Structure 1
Amino acid sequence: MFDQSPYECCLEWGERGAREAAERGDIVVIVDVLSFSSTVVTALHYGAVVYPHPKDDGLRAFADRHGADIIIGRAEAARAGNPTLSPVTFGPAHAGRRFVLCSLNGAVCARIGSVAPALLVGCLLNASAAAREADRLRAASGANVTVVACGEKWEAPRPGENGLRPAVEDYLGAGAILSALGGSRSPEAEVCVGAFRHAEARIAPLVTDCGSGRELAGKGCADDVRHCARLDVYATVPVLDRERFVVAASRGR
């Protein structure tokens, strides 16, 4: 059986990885650099309230129950002057406002991993802070930590093909967090840390020029890519508290 549980710090990929980690009882850190994790971190930095939710038939009822606005597509929201999955659309004016944030990767992995004893959101922007909070929770609970690189989805996979597309930006974001964690690392986590340390001095150009970065820039969102490619800009660590993300220090209040 594939299992990293002898180690205190582990790496998994995608939805299955989030489920496996949560069912093991691990502390889960969701990493979706472009853009779910970076958007959640930025939004909470400015005081917004974010509820993750898959894009499904229950979305409208969920938003209505929480009195929250649904974050819609970038182009449509931009025309309306509302924030989007783009992190740079959030600012001080959104403090205290409630938003439901959907994405094909990060929001889905967060929902799947929500049964974990603690679920955090990490990215390049808050890598060191996310690691400190995960270490604090690990010391308090004795649980292992699994960092989940969400990856992307292939468009129109053929029958029998896996839809997960590993994403270098998520691997580097996961490596940044794992490199700052205490505790023993699985071989999978150790190799991920090695990739980050090799790339650390060139993080911004690598994320900008990787496939996901070029794809997003080609859609007119180059500012998003530049924002998400920065390392340790924020000390904000989102943690899932029932159905919404709160800043780690305020969990349970």
Structure 2
Amino acid sequence: MFFDQSPFEVKLEWGQKGARIASDRGDIVIIVDVLSFSSTVVTAVEYGAEIYPYPPPINDDAKAYADRIGAKMVWGRAESIKYDGHSLSPLSFTASDKGQKFIMCSLNGAACSRIASKVPALLVGCPLNATAVVNKANYLRTKLKSDITVIACGEKWPDAADSEYQLRPGIEDYLGAGMILAKLNGSKSSEAEVCIGAYEYSKNKLAELIWDSTSGRELRERGYGQDVIHCSQVDYSAIVPVLCGDSFANA
């Protein structure tokens, strides 16, 4: 098959199409969406919350699903002000959320998670839990005898024309993926090797680069600079969210 990294044990793919390719291969998948799906899931699960990824957008179907399972909606940052609830900001979760269920729709991380929900193991990774997710993935690769694909989720161009590809690669996801790929065991594809090289070159100024990235600046200009600071922390958490059934739990 063209554009396939199958000869290698550790691979890098982008966005929803990449998640589908990895799912078709039957790989273990690590979802990397630094600003902010992955970071929010890690933070929420650390506080003991149950996170249910759901395909975007937030619509009547998503709200009905939340009602059916007794869950709260996780809103976009702007919507959370209107509805006075949790948002995609990881800092909207606290210890008081222990044991509560949340439906999380996002254009990137949640969408990729749903697409890859049938893989042998679906993990969530980011700088916050990089070492922990690598250790778990290496263990699962040996146990399940499966290859690993890291999905850099990227962003969506808000004003893409119908004839244009909507994916906007995000350097925060590329560097987060490189951080994880660098420590995974197994032969690595050329795409994975180049991603590792970008991370190795940038690792001493990782937080600065994420701060000044397009996604980082967008959040800062909207008043969410503390989110960017939080999401840039390395090995802040030992939590590894793994999809168990329909929700993420700590591995």
Report TM bin, short chain: over 0.9
The C-alpha deviation readout for 1:138-192, integer Å capped at 9, x for no partner, is 0001100000000000012113210000000000010011011111111100110
C-alpha displacement at 1:65, in angstroms? 2.1
Count, aligned residues? 248
C-alpha displacement at 1:79, in angstroms? 6.2
C-alpha displacement at 1:20, in angstroms? 0.3
Residue 89 of structure 2 is aligned to residue 86 of structure 1: yes
8 Å CA contact retained: 2:53, 2:247: yes
SS of the residue aligned with 2:128? Answer: coil
SS of the residue aligned with 2:149? Answer: strand
- Aligned partner of 2:20 in structure 1 is 19
Deviates more, 1:1-10 or 1:56-65: 56-65
SS of the residue aligned with 1:18? Answer: helix
For residues 81 and 132 of structure 1, the distance between their equivalents in structure 2, rounded to whole angstroms, comes to 37
For structure 2, the residue ranges without an aligned partner over 5 or more in a row are none
C-alpha displacement at 1:78, in angstroms? 4.2
For residues 12 and 208 of structure 2, the distance between their equivalents in structure 1, rounded to whole angstroms, comes to 24
C-alpha displacement at 1:126, in angstroms? 0.6
8 Å CA contact retained: 1:49, 1:96: yes
For structure 1, the residue ranges without an aligned partner over 5 or more in a row are 249-253
SS of the residue aligned with 1:175? Answer: helix
Q: TM-score normalised to the size of structure 1?
A: 0.95
- Aligned partner of 1:233 in structure 2 is 236
- Aligned partner of 1:251 in structure 2 is none
- Aligned partner of 1:199 in structure 2 is 202
- Aligned partner of 2:129 in structure 1 is 126
Letter in 1 for 2:139: R
For residues 75 and 106 of structure 1, the distance between their equivalents in structure 2, rounded to whole angstroms, comes to 18
The C-alpha deviation readout for 1:28-49, integer Å capped at 9, x for no partner, is 0000000000000000011111
Letter in 1 for 2:125: G
Residue 197 of structure 2 is aligned to residue 182 of structure 1: no
8 Å CA contact retained: 1:23, 1:115: no
Match of 1:73 among 68, 72, 76: 76
8 Å CA contact retained: 2:120, 2:144: no
- Aligned partner of 1:36 in structure 2 is 37
- Aligned partner of 1:208 in structure 2 is 211
For residues 103 and 20 of structure 1, the distance between their equivalents in structure 2, rounded to whole angstroms, comes to 20
The C-alpha deviation readout for 1:55-94, integer Å capped at 9, x for no partner, is 2442012212221001123244246653211001111111
For residues 94 and 201 of structure 2, the distance between their equivalents in structure 1, rounded to whole angstroms, comes to 33
C-alpha displacement at 1:205, in angstroms? 0.5
SS of the residue aligned with 1:115? Answer: coil
SS of the residue aligned with 2:141? Answer: helix
SS of the residue aligned with 2:249? Answer: strand
For residues 203 and 148 of structure 1, the distance between their equivalents in structure 2, rounded to whole angstroms, comes to 19
Residue 161 of structure 2 is aligned to residue 158 of structure 1: yes
The C-alpha deviation readout for 1:111-145, integer Å capped at 9, x for no partner, is 00111111100011111111111111100011000
C-alpha displacement at 1:54, in angstroms? 1.6
Match of 1:117 among 98, 120, 131: 120
The C-alpha deviation readout for 1:185-205, integer Å capped at 9, x for no partner, is 111001101111111110110
Letter in 2 for 1:169: E
- Aligned partner of 1:97 in structure 2 is 100
8 Å CA contact retained: 2:129, 2:240: yes
For residues 24 and 78 of structure 2, the distance between their equivalents in structure 1, rounded to whole angstroms, comes to 37
Q: TM-score normalised to the size of structure 2?
A: 0.96
CA RMSD of aligned residues (A): 1.2
